[in-house]
Amino acid sequence: MAAIWHIFIKEIKEFFSSRRMLLNILAMPLLFFPLMMLFSSAALDAQAEFSPYIICTDQDEDTLITTILEENGWDRIVCPEDEAKSRVESGSADIFITKDARAYIVWYSSYSQTSISVATSLVELLRSMGIESINSVSDDSQAMLLLNSRLAQLDDYELDYTAVLSATFIPMTIILVCSMAAGVLALALTVREREQNTLEYLFATGISAVSIVMGKFFAVLLASCLAGIASVASIVIYGFVVPNSIVPLDVTSIILLLVCIVMGATLFSSVFLCIGCLAKTQREGQLYTGVISIVAMLPAYFLSTTAPGREPNMYGFFPILNYTSIARDALYGIANFSFVTSAILSTICIVSVTLLVAVNIMASNRIFER
């Protein structure tokens, strides 16, 4: 244990003494989320201005619908209901709005983020005009919960409808920041030390491979957690600086986000440290860590756009998807402990295996150095 602590302190001192490392691991998370939100909001505004949303309707003479579409510059296609639904499903139209004897009906596609956002915006516009009889219908019944949760947040907290973007970006930010921080430091503590021949001094002291790997692992874990906490801090600060710009964060949601950060940091730290022990050069290590980060981000993005509160299925055994599910549900005020439990168990299993592999690789490197 003393040897692990000695290695940990050594690596942490080197970490905080490197301005470049501090900039990459701590400064970047503070800027990542605000910049992503600002650019995305600007892109949505530009899209709405230069590529108007396409609304299908079979209510050619409805003055209220006509007024909303004209004021917002949205294009209208008048067609029968079956054709309108087909257009929305194919993506050639964003939503379909109609009216029966009791209420307005907004029909949207759960597979299109734009369709969901336009449906959210349109329902809010109708409500602002005093229309309360509105039914939202989707091609996927599960997606109803997503839209209803977003509408409830817009009602309760008076958010701008573009704030729903944060429900997608926050889980992605946590995963990306933790993976990048862990990758940068893990490679620095393994590949770079091997290239500079500083690992030889550790081997010469007689410290075991287990102590070396665990000391470096805890150092990488701490840095990755700090990066994740910095990203949460930037999210909270951005919410204060730009009011009504993100979904509300209460104490429970922040705690669950921090749980996701610790689990994600633990997973990425062990995996990238193992890669650092295996890679022969810095470039090789960066290639491996970059591919893993991208592979982790893609499914996380698609899952973060689905309805919250779904029961775990086969993806419940994949930690990255669990982290995304926990963070996504937390942003809608849902504490899904089934996801938390499966995430903890799967993380422990993967981390144990990767650290064992890293120890064996480090031990073989030690024999080779001798």
**Tokens, residue 342:** 């499966």
Reported confidence tier of residue 266, pLDDT bands at 50, 70, 90: very high
For residue 105, give the H/E element and its range.
strand 104-108
C-alpha to C-alpha distance for 174 and 259, rounded to whole angstroms: 11
Looking at residues 288-303, what average pLDDT do you find? 76
The mean-pLDDT minimum among 98-107, 225-234, 273-282, 304-313 falls in 304-313
In angstroms, rounded to a whole number, what is the distance separating the alpha carbons of residues 255 and 253?
A: 5
Q: Is 313 helix (H, G, I), strand (E, B) or coil?
A: coil
Is pLDDT at 283 greater than 50 in this prediction? Answer: yes
Q: How many CB atoms lie within 10 A of CB 352?
A: 11
- Which structure tokens are listed for 285? 């290590």
Q: pTM of the prediction?
A: 0.72
Residue with tokens 């470096």: 216
Asked if residue 293 lies in contact with residue 183, where contact means CB atoms within 8 angstroms, the answer is yes
Q: What is the pLDDT of residues 28-87, one digit of tens each?
A: 888 888 887 777 767 666 655 556 788 888 877 677 778 888 877 788 888 888 888 888
Mean pLDDT of the region 248-258: 83
Least confident of 166-170, 264-268, 312-316, 355-359: 312-316
Domains defined for the chain, CATH in brackets:
2-40+164-369 (no CATH), 53-140 (3.40.190)
Contact by Cβ (8 Å): 35, 14: no
Of 61-70, 93-102, 222-231, give the range with the top mean pLDDT. Answer: 222-231
1 or 76, which is more confident: 76
pLDDT for 366 beyond 70: no
What is residue 302's predicted lDDT score, i.e. its pLDDT?
A: 66
Q: What is the mean pLDDT of residues 294-304?
A: 70
- In this predicted model, what pLDDT tens digit does every residue of 116-172 receive, in sequence order? 778 777 777 777 777 666 555 554 444 444 444 444 444 444 445 556 667 778 888
Report the mean per-residue pLDDT for the chain.
76
3-state secondary structure of 78: strand
